[in-house]
Amino acid sequence: MRVIVFRLICAGWIAALVYGSLAPVDDVQGAYVFGDFVLHAFGYAALTVLVVLSQRHPRIWVAVGAAVALGLVLEILQSFTGDRSASVIDVVANATGAAIGGAFCWWRRRLAAQPVGEI
């Protein structure tokens, strides 16, 4: 049951990322370069964690790769929209976030594998 819930949350998160990446934007958004990097990184870190949590036998590196691939595809698709353009900085932010999410999952897995007295 837990896996199903996380899969639904993950699907919703992916839908939000797709909408946020491809929906029309206003002119104000361009002023928040650092905030935009953090927003991208957070979005893809969360996606990686959700993908890991939504699998019965998760492979963290596959989740990281899937998140990076989605980010890359969405950036490429932005170049086909009228008011957006692809950005290498956004791809780097997406990959950074996915790596952070993967590192968090790896750390969580290592922590859970240790006996309580050794923590």
Place of tokens 């206003």: 26
* Higher pLDDT pick, 114 / 84: 84
Which tokens in the block code for residue 16?
């939000």
Q: Give the Cα separation of 75 and 22 in Å (integer).
A: 9
Tally of structural domains, the chain: 1
Select the more confidently predicted residue: 69 or 21: 69
Helices (H), the chain: 2-22, 33-53, 60-78, 88-113
Please give the residue range of the domain that contains residue 68: 2-118
Mean pLDDT of 26-37: 64
Closest CA to 68 of 41, 37, 30: 41
Closest CA to 43 of 8, 13, 22: 13
Give 60-111 pLDDT, tens digit per residue.
999 999 999 999 999 999 999 888 888 999 999 999 999 999 999 999 999 8
